[in-house]
Structure 1
């Protein structure tokens, strides 16, 4: 995750140095396109060939690609086309890598520990956010984009032997045989059918999709525009992001320590709805200190709901389908939602931050309403 943070900072910096702001935005967003288009297929690959094998192979490809681009940039300045190609390749490999990562926990530990794994993963994300950006900035300051890409490649390279050391348990022989006797298309249809017929997974996917669609715009490009509108500056935006990270980290730590939260489905809905209200409130405060306080609340509530959604997804899904189910859950957050950021920016330009944050909050709240109004999800529990 730290390597990914450094990579995207290096990519955006190199794109800005080689083109206009609009061109840089296109380069940094283009990796989301192959993720959105190919992630379902990546889930099938993870389930057919085993998540451990797929995650090791795809991570090695990510590492080699980033290091190759770093070497090219040390020698010459090829322009935007290489950066765009790198973003497409990285997004394509991510379409396989991310579902495989999602399918690993259920093969590594028992169901009663999966919620704790989600909490630890949340802590890893927060750690990467704190460490990755300064490390990438240091790489750019010392040796430009080439050095930052090299740093990202080396960090990803360090993750490969760690992944090799992971041991997983195999699926029962009857499930493995059934999987190998079908085509990839039938595997994909079986995964979608598994979600559609499941009393918890079907509404959970809608909840995750609505939450991600409402969350990504305001907390990315929207926050930048809000900080500019309020006169907080870059440092003020950093404080708000720090508040969000603190709240999200606290939620992840809670789940990592407790391991199990009673009435998980109800807690999920109960965190999403007030979290959505906090997102709308963020655009209404003018004082920086108040904005930081609201951001802590947003991070705490959305971090808790996100971790609970991940824990429910892991515990409710049959391990044989986890790659495909993870892919479906990730299509919106990692493929479609990033593409909505230019639309959010355009909407802010027309209507201002208040209405756009309010609409985004309403979309998030609809996800909570789905969880609250669906008996299967509302009554869902984590294993003891």
Structure 2
């Protein structure tokens, strides 16, 4: 008789996440991948500008957003079905291979814009599965009580990647053109793959955990995470396992009865039904959506137009952007250090309301110095709100649905919110910066109002 030895599941670390080697390996992989992304977009924009007209270059830069927005819900299903770790590893491997292939082609020839557009589409397709998996992965590498700290550490990694990635991309272009910058991006993404392979996964907690009281009423079909009875990696049940997300659990406590065969479409519907019936997640995603819709336009294209009209110049705009980044980094550092904040739901709502007021005030300040101070406040408040909302999203979600939950939240942030940028620019041309910034502040503030109005979200707490 053959004996199968099942390795023990990774237990939550006894100490804080910033001292856990498993979390640090994941964070190193994530940081390397994000720096590679920043270098990639510098290389892509430079190559597109050198190969075509400004309008063609803009089209190349925007084309990746289409498949990302259209396919992200499906990407959430993929992440939950196959496990976030293997999806992230596969996504990074595909992105690395695609970027290095384009770098090699650019070293020997000049294929033109079609190759750059194809690469952008490939990145958009891969991002549609990569981003939900990245959102679902922290819950598999640490305990629930450390997820808020990990969210802060992840925010610091994003800020670091933004600061370091752009100069590295510029250096690569300066040394050897777009081909060298693409090669550098591919190598940075490649670094993440062995680090991710070395990351150990926690056992997925059983269904009906801490968030069970927030989901659909009793008597509904019980849908929970797989139980790993066969030692399958990443919490993926074996074929025919009756403990997966589509097992119907009888109310008398008998063994689970396999339901109809799971399909991707059914997984998607189950995920949307789970979010809709959750008393915290549903209003939380609305809060995140309103905050992003009110934030993205003014702080991107609106800020450039504001700086131009005020005569601040590129250097003044750079100072304002830097102040915002410093504030957001400070908020992430606070959460990474503290690990949790009391009354997280109310604190996130209050920070979002304060940030919305600061967004409206930014269009009213005359000088660069005052704008830098207001931008610092926006970064701190919006960064704190975003970090708390992200941490609540992680801790309130059943791990079996976290990929789909992240996908729904990401569709607004990465798909719908960027569409507000051209609308913001057009509206500023019609009505000026003051009314448009004020209107965006109202939209952003509505997110805070929703969070305060919904009792379960207002009272939501992060685990200690």
- The alpha-carbon deviation at position 118 of structure 1 amounts to 0.3
Deviates more, 1:305-314 or 1:62-71: 62-71
Larger radius of gyration: 2
Distance 1:13 1:149 in 2: 11
Distance 1:151 1:341 in 2: 30
Distance 2:423 2:114 in 1: 24
Deviates more, 1:338-347 or 1:90-99: 338-347
Structure 2 SS opposite 1:217? helix
Higher fraction of helix:
1
The answer (yes or no) to whether the contact 1:240–1:295 under 8 Å persists in 2 is yes
- The alpha-carbon deviation at position 289 of structure 1 amounts to 1.0
Partner of 1:229: 309
Structure 1 SS opposite 2:460? coil
Alignment partner of 2:110 out of 77, 84, 89: 77
- The alpha-carbon deviation at position 223 of structure 1 amounts to 1.4
Distance 2:56 2:141 in 1: 42
- The alpha-carbon deviation at position 342 of structure 1 amounts to 2.0
Q: Which has the higher contact order (CA 8 A, sep 6+)?
A: 1
Deviates more, 1:319-328 or 1:74-83: 74-83
The answer (yes or no) to whether the contact 1:29–1:339 under 8 Å persists in 2 is no
Alignment partner of 1:315 out of 375, 392, 395: 395
Match runs of 1:50-89 below 5 Å: 50-89=83-122
Match runs of 1:230-249 below 5 Å: 230-249=310-329
Aligned CA distance change for structure 1 residues 340 and 355 (closer, same or farther; 3 Å): same
Partner of 1:285: 365
- The alpha-carbon deviation at position 24 of structure 1 amounts to 2.0
Deviates more, 1:176-185 or 1:138-147: 176-185
Partner of 2:31: none
Structure 1 SS opposite 2:364? coil
Deviates more, 1:184-193 or 1:337-346: 337-346
Distance 1:358 1:144 in 2: 42
Partner of 2:256: none
The answer (yes or no) to whether the contact 1:48–1:179 under 8 Å persists in 2 is no
Alignment partner of 2:159 out of 106, 122, 126: 126
Q: In the alignment, is residue 220 of structure 1 matched against residue 286 of structure 2?
A: no
Alignment partner of 1:12 out of 41, 45, 59: 45
- The alpha-carbon deviation at position 116 of structure 1 amounts to 0.2
Distance 1:158 1:104 in 2: 18
Q: In the alignment, is residue 37 of structure 1 matched against residue 83 of structure 2?
A: no
Match runs of 1:253-264 below 5 Å: 253-264=333-344
Deviates more, 1:32-41 or 1:348-357: 348-357
Aligned CA distance change for structure 1 residues 76 and 343 (closer, same or farther; 3 Å): farther
Q: Aligned-pair RMSD on alpha carbons?
A: 1.4
- TM score, norm. by length of structure 1: 0.97
Partner of 1:265: 345
Stretches of structure 2 lacking an aligned partner (at least 5 in a row) = 1-33, 205-226, 230-234, 247-260
Structure 1 SS opposite 2:245? helix
Partner of 1:360: 440
- The alpha-carbon deviation at position 189 of structure 1 amounts to 0.8
Partner of 1:179: 245
Deviates more, 1:283-292 or 1:41-50: 283-292
Partner of 1:164: 197
Partner of 2:21: none
Distance 2:358 2:146 in 1: 30
Partner of 2:149: 116
Q: In the alignment, is residue 351 of structure 1 matched against residue 431 of structure 2?
A: yes
Partner of 2:181: 148
- The alpha-carbon deviation at position 173 of structure 1 amounts to 3.5
Distance 1:219 1:87 in 2: 24
- TM score, norm. by length of structure 2: 0.81
Alignment partner of 1:188 out of 262, 268, 274: 268
The answer (yes or no) to whether the contact 1:12–1:28 under 8 Å persists in 2 is yes
Stretches of structure 1 lacking an aligned partner (at least 5 in a row) = none
Distance 2:165 2:434 in 1: 31
The answer (yes or no) to whether the contact 1:32–1:336 under 8 Å persists in 2 is no
Partner of 2:283: 203
The answer (yes or no) to whether the contact 1:29–1:338 under 8 Å persists in 2 is no
